[in-house]
């Protein structure tokens, strides 16, 4: 396999982060800790428990917990007891968190517009289909490793 292909996902993600970083810093978010993704997931899905949120954001539970502590301190979200389990918390956005999440979604959409500039609908569908296969292959490998 060509080295260029092997590195393309990494390069794209690094360039995407470089583009998006100043927007999140301007919003007052800590970059690199998943805060924008957490806000986006909670805005789109509503209240979630910490495990669901960690899974949706592809973060380990410990990192998620530390990030939620900081976001709660900053007034972006709050945690409430989960009536279904005494050992877990439900996480929900505050009013301030809703406002920030709406801004985060606008930023993600703006960056998507940059990424897909010049692509036809057919090309976007084809790229989406191919990257879905890559993602599914990775999940399958992870699940196989976890079952060992």
In which band, very low, low, confident or very high, does the pLDDT at 65 lie, cut at 50, 70 and 90?
very high
pLDDT tens figures, 44-61: 999 999 989 999 999 998
| pLDDT value at 145 more than 90 | no
User: How would you write the chain as a 3-class SS string?
Assistant: CCHHHHHHHHHHHHHHHHHHHHHHHHCCCCCCCCHHHHHHHHHHHCCEEHHHHHHHCCCCHHHHHHHHHHHHHCCCEEEEEECCEEEEEEEEECHHHHHHHHHHHHHHHHHHHHHCCCCCHHHHHHHHHHHHHHHHHHHHHHHHHHCC
Q: What is the predicted pLDDT for the residue at 32?
A: 83
Q: What is the predicted pLDDT for the residue at 148?
A: 78
Cβ burial of 72 (10 Å; 0-12, 13-18, 19+) is middle
pLDDT tens figures, 99-125: 999 999 999 999 999 999 999 999 999
């Amino acid at each position: 396999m060509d080295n260029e292909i092997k590195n393309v996902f990494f390069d794209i993600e690094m360039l995407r982060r470089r583009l998006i970083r100043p927007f999140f810093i301007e919003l007052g978010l800590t970059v690199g800790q998943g805060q924008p993704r957490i806000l986006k997931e909670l805005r789109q899905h509503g209240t979630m428990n910490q495990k669901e949120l960690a899974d949706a954001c592809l973060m380990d539970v410990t990192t998620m917990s530390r990030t939620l502590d900081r976001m709660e301190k900053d007034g972006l979200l709050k945690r409430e007891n989960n009536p279904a389990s005494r050992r877990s918390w439900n996480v929900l956005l505050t009013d301030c968190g809703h406002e920030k999440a709406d801004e985060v979604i606008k930023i993600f959409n703006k960056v998507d517009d940059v990424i897909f500039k010049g692509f036809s609908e057919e090309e976007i569908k084809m790229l989406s289909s191919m990257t879905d296969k890559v993602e599914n292959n990775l999940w399958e490998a992870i699940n196989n490793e976890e079952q060992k």
